[in-house]
Every structure is written in structure tokens, then in C-alpha cells.
Chain A
């Protein structure tokens, strides 16, 4: 048996998908016109799947900060944070994040994936337990696999199921870490965090929330779901990313626990990764300042979200439960979904196509994400494209 033989099923699925839409595997962004518009196959396309919630990737101040940092500190650090990779910018960003979240300490990581994976794999170990929402991101699942803790899933957003499992663990007298997300990346729904916080306190568990998609999007000052739900004091660890609302790449975890800094010496994913380049750190620091000082960006994003959600709902499409910057359109038939996705691209709209088993309940998804910098005309164009495809494929959703 050859080393690649185990991937045969994957190869067959890919071949079948290619037959229906070869473009799916060959989308290359040839030119970026703006945070919301790109050139694909020589044609202008509205990006409705970019997670660029505040549209800061082309912000002039962020670009200037990044360029200045390259000139001053070079293109990369060529080292881990625990060796030669800690620059003053890394320390400053950690302090600024701590101040923003009102927490004692923050650790930054080179990607959001690493942040989640590092925290989950390091915080809990042998004879301890992770209770995670079934719809958590792959980075959290991968962290669970790397660590030594016992991992138990509870049904997505199901408080009763979580409580049953906490109750079963009561006699074990061990540390239990509950892991949830602010906005779930596929369906765009929120965790019932206020209820989860009640259970966390009742059973003496720890609570970690991944605010990757909710930073800058939820909460009065953009701190995420914990702020919106009014339960920041009950959340022990907040993880987030720089690659969405902050328009760069990287991740962080912030906490009030006095011993939190010890994780710098315990997390292999922190120790053995090169630190973020100076330009990334500089643009992220500027983006955080803008996130804090320009709440109008968030308000504009939400106006777009309500507009598109209502339009798609009026078309009779099956959507995620609530309006938000992530709007998932559910389709029953994966093969037809490929055709519809291709049709949207022909109409000049790029959305994310997500097929089972990567989807929460086995259905295919056409996942839209909006940006504060979309124009109203672009949001209407996205709605028009769905309307046209709905008319063409009335029974395939």
C-alpha cells in the first residue's frame, strides 16, 4: 500500500467536485482592488467571504505603521519569543490588549490557530477534563488531540446537555475547562454565554471563549460576546485572532489569572514558533487603536448584516438563526450547492462554500461574511445574485 493510498476517498471526492466546478479548486485572487473587491479570472468580484469585518486590510494608517516597522525592524524576527524573537512591539501589543480587555496578562501567538491550539493543549492535562461545544473550530479540536486531557463534547449550544455532563463529572474532583466560541464561524450563531457562565460558577469549572469572529463585532466596545453578554468576570481565558477584524495575522489569549504567564514556558506551540514579524505587530497595534476609536465601523457592519439577512430571508432561504456579519445559507444537496456557488461567482460574488463533513449538521453551506467597507450597492448586489440563483434553482436549497 502506497503512502498516499489512504487519501483515495479524498481524491475521489475532489475529482467529483472538479467535474461539477473546476473553479472551486483554482480560485486565485489575481489582484486586490479593495478590502471588498478582487479580480478573479480577469473579472471583478465582490468578496463576500473574507472575514474582513472592519475592512482594515487597506487602512492607510495600518499600512503606514507596517511599512515603518519593516524599515525600522526588518522583515522578520527569525526567532521564537523565548529566544531572540521578543521585540518591544510584541510586548507593547500584549500590554495594549490587556488594557483593552481589562485583564492582567496577554500572550500573543503567531496565528489564531496556534493561539487556540496552544491554550487548549497546555491549560489542561492528564486527569483533567475539557468540555467543548461540538461545533468548536478545528484548532480547538486539534489542541484537544495534542494535550493529555480527557475531552468530552456537549451538543452545540445545549445548556441542558452541558449541565448533565458537568454533573457527571462532579465526583471526579478535577479541573474542568469549558470551551466555547463567541460567534461560531460556520453558522454565525452565538454561544448562550450568560447561561454557560452560571453553570461554570455553579460547578467550579474554568471557562475559555474563542472570540475569533466576535472581536470588534460584538459588545459595546468590541470586546466580543463576553462583553455583550455582561459576563466578562466569569470568563477565565479569552482567545482571539488578528486575522479577521484586525486585518493581519496572529492570535492572543488574555487572562486575569496571576500565574497565566507560566504558559509561556509550558506551551510548546509558543516556544517553538517564530514570533510575528514587526510589520504584522505594527499594523495590528494600529488596527486595535482604530477598533477602539471608530465604533462607526462596527455599526456600519451591523447595518449591512441586517440588510442582507432580511433580503435572503425574504427569498425564503434557510439561514443561520440570527442576523450577523456571518450569514450562512444552508443547502440540502452538496452537488447542487457547487452549481449555485459557481453561479454566484458568475454573478461576480465570491462566498465560501463549505461541504460536509466540515459543516455542523451535514448540510452544505454557502457562507457569506460582510465587511464594514462593503458599500450598500455591493450588499445589494450580493442579495441580487442570490435572488437570481434562487429563481434558477428554486428547489435546490
Chain B
């Protein structure tokens, strides 16, 4: 089972290449407003996260995801269900 810190770091590792000019990504970073991700890009990011954690993310969850914190919370929930 991953610790919260490890989970956060792995998700940041997926998002970091998308941050413009190496801007810092925090739990409060907004995927749309701060990283300028459109819906297609968010789906690509989620697909990479799915591979990394060996889970499937239902698309209904996407509408609840706005910030990095939202991503972490949803992934934590799915990982707990998978266990």
C-alpha cells in the first residue's frame, strides 16, 4: 500500500512534464486553470495514471476532478476499493 506522500509524488511525476516553464505543482494546482489541460489532455493524463497504479478510472469521476488534490483523493479511493 502506497503512503499518501508516495502517491502524491507519483501523480506529480505524471503531471510535471505538463507544467509550463517548470512551474511548481502542488495539491492545489488546478488542472484546467493552472496547467491549461483540455478535456482530451486530462483523459490522457488519467490513462497514464491508470497504467501506473493498475486501476481503471470510471469516466463519471472526471467531472469531480479539478485539482491535483481531487486526483489524489479519487485514486486513493479506487486503490482502496481494489484492495
A residues apposed to B, CB below 8 Å: 134, 144-145, 150-153, 155, 164-165, 168-169, 356-357, 361-362
Contact = CB atoms under 8 A, between A and B. Distances in A.
Contact residues on B (Cβ < 8 Å of other chain), bracket: 10 to 19
A152 B46 CA distance: 11
B58 A152 contact: yes
Contacts, number: 30
B58 A357 contact: no
Interface in B20-52: 38-41, 43, 47
Nearest to A151: B59
Contacts of A168: 54-56, 82
A165 B59 CA distance: 14
Contacts of B41: 362
B3 interface: no
B54 A152 contact: no
Given A168-B54, A168-B55, A151 B43 contact: no
Contact of B39 (A145, A164, A357): A357
Interface of B: 38-41, 43, 47, 54-60, 82
A362 B39 CA distance: 10
Nearest to A158: B47
A241 to B, nearest CB: 24
A165 B47 CA distance: 12
B56 A152 contact: yes
A356 B38 CA distance: 10
B59 A144 contact: yes
A145 B58 CA distance: 11
Contact of B47 (A144, A155, A356): A155
A357 B40 contact: yes
A284 to B, nearest CB: 33
Given A357-B39, A357-B40, A150 B58 contact: yes
A144 B39 CA distance: 17
